[in-house]
Chain A
Amino acid sequence: MSAVQEFKCPSCGGTMVFNSSQQKLVCEYCGTEMDVSAAEELSGEDMSVRPDSMDWEALGGSAWREGEKPRIRIITCASCGGELMTDENTAATSCPFCGNKVVIKDQVEGTLRPDYVIPFKLDKEQAKEAYRNHLKGKFLLPKSFASGNHVDEMKGIYVPFWVFDTDANADFRYKARRENSWIQGDYIYTRISHYSLVRRGSIGFSHVPVDASKDMPDTLMQSLEPYDFGQAVDFNTAYLAGYLADRYDIGMEESSEKANARIRQSTENAIDATATGYMGIQRVQGNIQLFNAKAKYVLYPVWLLNTTWQGKTYTFAMNGQTGKFVGDLPSDNKKFFLTEALVAIGAAAAALAVMFFL
């Protein structure tokens, strides 16, 4: 053992010094204290603090293959600027985002070829049926809403996603305490024991999707999750026949931040759940390292319907694989207010009656 030994703080990694008045080691940076015996136990531990490392390797997207380019048609919407991709045989239709006419543009240059595609499992009829079911049983939905929209405008569209696979390695530290009290003579004694908890673990994530199209609201796409990547197949231009495919306009780097945030939250939840049996548990330090982090460029199937009601646009979407249907609906405020008032009066009257006879 060397004459001078440095003790690292279990909370922040700073150097701890011996405080003679307290007879304890005290961290000069964060104020953590510990007994000398604890310091010995800790001396074998790696208490260094590392920054997060959450970098991704893009496998995602490749160049178009020989012979594929002539079969791909790029179309743009003159009104909203949306760029879409389809198969050469698909007739020009209206823009799925704004409903205006689209123009065919011929070059495919500057785009990436998707790695995988989950083909549509559900057709337009099923999507229309799901939409009708979505409107059913909604008490506050204004009556005029359903009659006004054009369910035939429902469009099948392949939405570009970056999907992320990784193993996350977490190294978290917590401070915690235990308390017990007892009575002795005229006094109540309370002992507070302070602990430092170390939790290290790894957790694997497969196919965390992040929508790569600016045309698609993130929350709308997240609401359609999850997709079953097990049914994804290698991309083939044939899958585009009859459907539109949106082109990615958010790069992998930008998308990975959104994936990282979700991966971090899930990792924290998983590791935090293992720090139990104490009071006042508080995470003081933690870093996450990603290994084998790979991103892929895939197309997911979505049925999309845009409708306008009283000057406001409502967007509905259905997961083309699972049939999950989402989309916020407007509320009839007069009905809402009346219902609340009636319920309030009814409940108050019932409560009064009960109290009167008690």
Chain B
Amino acid sequence: MMRTDIKQRPSFTAVCRNILSGRRFSDTGKITVALMLTLLCLLLFRVNSYANGLLPSSSDLTALAEETMAGQDTASSYGLPEGSAGVSSEAEESDRLGTRQHVYDAAGLLTGTEQSYLEESLSAISQRYAFDTVVATVSALEGEDIVAVADDFFDYGGFGYGENRDGILFLMSIGDRQWYISTSGYGYEVFTDSRLEYMEGIIVPYLSRGNYAGAFNNFATLCEETLEHGIDYGESDYTDYSYQEEERGMTPAKGGIAAAIGALFASLTGAGLKRQLKSVKQKNTASDYIRPGSFNLYDTKDIFLYDNVTRVRRPKQQPSSGGRSSHHSGGFGGHSTTHRSSSGRTHGGRGGGF
């Protein structure tokens, strides 16, 4: 009779049992696995929140802007005058601009409620100060310069009140993790370099934490305060109001951290209890048997061999304004750096990564 040896493969349950009993993994191995699982959970949460409305990119934004323009054309074909025509009454213009959108969330980062809340406040600010305040998000810039994309969106989208197209646009690309504030008309007078720098300091931490609604709400409030106080506005009494309400309650990040803490405690407890059962250990040294006082270091020499001196240039502080060709543009409160966009209009602004 033939005898065949079949190699026994461990069954799935046996492997699970081994893993649970720690036979396959050392204690540190288990901790690592737990932490990795937690990170994976965190990642999934984040991807999930991005995926909510994913996908449009800067080309979609152009489409959006074109759509807006088309709407405007329709408006003008209905007899509503162009902004610079000079014949428009103020009331007519604010009608035209008052009904249009101020939030273009092409990257889908905001929930419906967040979006309508933001739209409401931006629209109110825009009408009250006759100054377009706009927020736009894209999922990717597709290699284009964020400054150009922002300026063109503002110019060709037909934003801005009056002859000078007064307004401000906050553009953010989630894929590139970049943001840019483009100012136009009265905007680059009142949003001075130092003011924009101050705004950056408040807004960017929200972006970095992934709290986009918080960033945009702060942007709106900062705009309102700047416009309220005019160009000589000081930077002292702004209160960062949305932090508290935004960060309270349950967020995916908190869930992840809690899971990580849970996994860590569990593996530490488990490892501790397992260690109680183990008392047989290998000894690799003979330190128990060193004759007391027998260690005698009778010769030590530290011999210098050679030196090697290298030098690197000290990093310089980068100038912090986003201007391309800059010139001083007046105002009493400070300096604004401006540049020219593809449509030939002048914009101010500031941007960066997060």
Write the residues of chain A forming the contact surface with B, with a CB cutoff of 8 angstroms: 10, 24, 32-35, 37-38, 41-42, 45, 134, 137-141, 167, 183, 186-208, 217-220, 222-223, 225-226, 259, 261-263, 265-266, 269-271, 274, 325-331, 333, 336-337, 339-341, 343-352, 355-356
Contact = CB atoms under 8 A, between A and B. Distances in A.
Given A187-B313, A347-B265, A348-B258, A205 B289 contact: yes
B206 to A, nearest CB: 18
Interface string B245-270: 00011100011011101111111011
Contact of B270 (A220, A226, A266, A339): A339
A341 B262 CA distance: 9
Interface stretch (B120-128, B215-223, B294-302): B294-302
A177 B301 CA distance: 14
Contacts, number: 229
Interface stretch (B224-232, B233-241, B278-286): B278-286
Interface stretch (B129-137, B144-152, B303-311): B303-311
Contact of A193 (B287, B288, B299, B304): B304
25 contacts: A10-B303, A32-B305, A35-B306, A41-B303, A187-B314, A188-B313, A193-B306, A194-B307, A195-B303, A201-B299, A204-B290, A204-B291, A218-B282, A223-B279, A262-B283, A262-B284, A266-B285, A266-B286, A327-B279, A328-B278, A343-B266, A343-B270, A344-B263, A351-B257, A356-B254
A138 B277 contact: yes
B273 interface: yes
Contact of B20 (A199, A217, A337, A352): A337
Which 6 pairs show the lowest CB-CB distances between chains A and B? A348-B262, A204-B294, A347-B265, A344-B266, A204-B291, A200-B299
Contact of A336 (B273, B285, B306, B314): B273
Contacts of A32: 305
A262 B285 contact: yes
A203 B294 contact: yes
A138 B276 contact: yes
Given A38-B305, A223-B280, A326-B280, 17 more contacts: A140-B273, A194-B305, A194-B308, A202-B296, A204-B294, A222-B281, A263-B286, A265-B285, A269-B285, A328-B277, A331-B274, A331-B277, A333-B17, A339-B270, A340-B266, A347-B262, A347-B266
Contacts of A344: 262-263, 265-266
Interface residues of B, number: 60
B269 A339 contact: yes
B312 interface: yes
Interface of B: 17, 20-22, 248-250, 254-255, 257-259, 261-267, 269-270, 273-274, 276-291, 294-314
